[in-house]
Structures are given as structure tokens and as C-alpha cells.
Amino acid sequence: MPADLPDVTASPDAVRFGLVGYGFGARYFHAPLLAASPACELVAVMTSDPQRRALVADEHPGVLCADSLAARVEAGAEAVSISTPASTHSELTDAALELGLAVVCDKPFALSATAAAASADLAEALHLPLSPYQNRRWDSDFRTVRSLVEAGALGDILRFESRFERFKPDSGPAPSGGGTLLDLGSHLVDQALVLLGQVQSVYAEWTIRQNGLDDDVFVALGHVNGGRSHLWASSMQAAPGPRFRVSGTRAAYLIGRPLDGQEAALVAGRSPATEGADWGREPAETWGRLVRGEEHQLIETLPGAWDDFYAEFAGAVRGEGPAPVTAAEAVETARVLDAAAASAAGGEVIWLEDRSATVS
């Protein structure tokens, strides 16, 4: 459990972080990685829940529990990580920026592209780093996909197939995530944009559960460069498909399940601080294959590196490099998710305007 995770001694120039919320995401995905990074120092957590305050005291002794963003500034925080229900993200992001804090905001970054753009504009005007927490760019399997694509092993990418499928039919998507399209779809769309670039057409399907939230989502994207992405996200899938199938003109890469192991490791009480060089490594039996018809070549999966996100963001706060994921990229992801929601609701293909002149 997190109480067993050691805090790494922060460097003298470490960026002092406040954490907003201490639910599952904050407790397992943010706090342990902040505590494990020499470039970061966790100084405050904002939560009013007595049980969560007790957890903070037990798992991160000496970290202040604050009632407000302003109290974090008084505690010396320079940046905050927001891990709260989706409906609060934009309000908290903007409030933190207005207090002069650099911001990492969990996914979904915003409930709409309009809200995402407003936060991005505010951060730019205030000259503050702002990043969506797209940690899945540093998944072991996606890092391997990017490496193969960049090396030209697959040729030109024709189709990117990606899945976050689970079988939890009784629980379904949590209300705090805003539905499966926003929650898991944020990662799927972000990865598709990283791999294939700007989107010009969007078609989507979903199922509305009894609680009113969307689930069992399928999204088809047509990219400006001619490639296509087929994305699935579900908590209703009893037979989950392969994590990735990436098809190119020379070969395809196929990797199945389980998902990248960093989430399970953090929940089990392990972190980069406890595992060192073994952090993020996947067992050989889970490695994917490079496929050319009947030819199959086993490809060692690169180690996952969620910890790289905070090291890079700390560098951005210190003016040493760009943010690991930019606010402009968050806006593009939100534009695609908006279009997917409109497509699923109306049953039609949505065409997006060409933004090649404004999007780097």
C-alpha cells in the first residue's frame, strides 16, 4: 500500500507541488510518483474528507492538509496536480492559474473544447505551464509502438487500433469520470493524435447505461495524413480484444493483454523509488510481435515510464524545457471528443475544420 512507499530526497531545486484531491487517482497515480521524483516535492494535499486526511498523514508524514488552493500557496506550493471529479477540472485549473500556480490536470482535462481552450489561453496569458495528465503516453506498450513507428519498422501507418476494454458490467463507468468517452477516450484519442496527427473526420457509437453515462464506446477517426484510428473503450466487454494492432505498409505490430503494469504496481505499493531500474518492465510472456503475414518476430516491450511525466513537467516549471503534454494538445483532444459525442448522439460522421495552420 502507499504507506510503504519511500519518499525520495528532493533536490534543492525541486518543484514544490500541492495535490488537489486524495481519491483513487491522486492517492495511487499522483502522490507516489511525486514522492518518488527528486525533481518534485509534495508539500500539501487539499481534501476536506477526514478519512482521506488520515490517509495523507499516514502515507506522507509532514505533508500539509489544506482546505483551499490559497492555503497551498501559503505552504509554498509552486504547482498543483488536480485529481478530482471531471466536472470540477476547469474551475479548479483556472483558479490555480490565477493564483500563479503551474497546473497538471487529470483527464478528462475539460468537459468541452471551449472550456479547454479557455484554460489554455489563460495559462498562455499568465506564462504558466499547464499540462493534461496524459500519463498513458508513457505506457510500456505505447512507448514500444512509437519506437517501432519512428524506426520505420511498420512503414507508413494505415490503421491504429487501440482498446481499453474491461468487464465490470455491474459497476460500469464511475460518475466522477464523466462517462467512458471522456474518461478512457481521453487517453485513446490522445495516443491516436500523437501517432497519426490531426483528425479530419469522426464517427462514434456508444451505449447509454441506466445511470445516464455512456459506455461501450467505439470511435473511428480519419486523419489528415490518410491514416485511420479505430478506438474502443468499455466496461461491458466480456472478451477484451488486443491492446494494440498497428498496421503499416511494411508490417504490423500486435500486442495483447494485460494492460501496462504500472497501475497495478502502484496500487500494490510499488513505485520507481522501490523498483529502481526494474520499474515499468514487462514480463517476456506479455511482449508483442512484429507480424509480416506468416512471419512473427517477438519484440521486447520497452519499460513503462510514468515517472518521466513529472520530471519533464518540473523542468518546464523551471524553464528548462517544454511541458510534457501541452495545453494546445489538450484542446485538440477535447475537439475530437466533442465531435465523437455529437456523432454518437446523432449517428453521423462529423467533419472537423483544418487547423494545420494553427496547430503545431
Q: What is the pLDDT of residues 215-226, one digit of tens each?
A: 999 999 999 999
pTM above 0.75, yes or no: yes
For 313-337, the pLDDT digits (tens) are 999 999 999 999 999 999 999 999 9
Give the residue carrying C-alpha cell 474528507. 49
- Range 203-210 average pLDDT: 95
Q: What are the Cα distances from residue 205, in Å, to 180, 211, 231, 238?
A: 12, 18, 11, 18
Question: Whose CA is closest to 4, among 200, 279, 269?
Answer: 269
How far apart CA 35 and CA 248 sit, in angstroms, is 40
Residue 193 three-state SS = helix
User: 65 - beta bridge partners?
Assistant: 45
What per-residue confidence (pLDDT) applies to 26? 96
Q: Which one has a higher pLDDT value, 190 or 357?
A: 190
Inform me whether the pLDDT recorded for 359 exceeds 70.
no
Domains of the chain (ranges plus CATH)? 2-135+322-326 (3.40.50.720), 136-304+334-351 (3.30.360.10)
Instruction: Give the number of residues written for the chain.
Output: 360
